[in-house]
Amino acid sequence: MQRGKVYNPDEPELMQQQIIAQEKNDAYNALKRSDFKGRTQLLKEMFAEMGTDCMIEIPFYANWGGQHVHFGNGVYANFNLTLVDDGDIFVGDNTMFGPNATIATAGHPVYPPLRSEKHYQFNKSVYIGKNAWLGANVTVLPGVTIGDNTVVGAGSVVTKDLPANVVAVGTPCKVLRPIGQHDHDYFYKNEKLDIWS
């Protein structure tokens, strides 16, 4: 499952392990929003790695309940984060996810009998750097790497790697421009930041 090769996910032992992981995910979503301590504790149990000061808003969904997810420190995810974590997902410190973001590591062969009759799938790890920001409704596909500080615009579908320090948008997602002085001086279009004075 974690080797990046084609396999059959319908094996009874795998399915049972996945159900146990998903039930922990259900327990997380049943916690009170105000139970920050309980939410943090359960995430640390669910995830492969969970840094300090992370927050995932409820509801949150993961195929394997986060078992293959590695979060750095200070990661924030808004409502409806969906992690198809059949493969590993690595997220660097201080990265943010907008509402309804989806990170997918699983794919299926294109040849129809392998999908419909055998249900074969494969998993490719996703790497997201530090200080990245993925806007609302962003989808990241299997095998993608997103560099440090990169901003992915709302609604984008990331099919290929993105370098560090860029703004990228679209379906498929493409680099729009580098992050630069304009981003230092303005917070929205041509509205000037006044926090530097």
**pLDDT attached to residue 102:** 98
Residue 155, domain extent? 5-192
Query: Is residue 197 situated within a structural domain?
Result: no
Out of 70, 108, 119, 182, pick the active-site residue. 108
pLDDT score, position 68: 97
pLDDT of residue 2: 67
Task: Give the whole-angstrom CA distance, residue 10 versus residue 107.
Answer: 15
Instruction: Give per-residue pLDDT as tens, 96-140.
Output: 999 999 999 999 999 999 988 888 999 999 999 999 999 999 999
CATH number for the domain that contains residue 30: 2.160.10.10
Q: Is residue 65 part of a domain?
A: yes
Please count the structural domains in the chain: 1
For 37-77, where are the E strands, in sequence order?
49-50, 55-56, 60-62, 69-71, 76-77
In a domain, 163, yes or no: yes
| pTM summary value | 0.94
Q: Which two tokens stand for residue 114?
A: 């392998």
pLDDT, tens digit, 9 for 90 and up, residues 85-98: 999 999 999 999 99
Does residue 127 lie within any of the structural domains?
Answer: yes
Does a structural domain hold residue 38?
yes
* Residue 108 annotated in active site: yes
Contact 102, 67 (CB under 8 A): no
Under-50 pLDDT residues of the chain: none
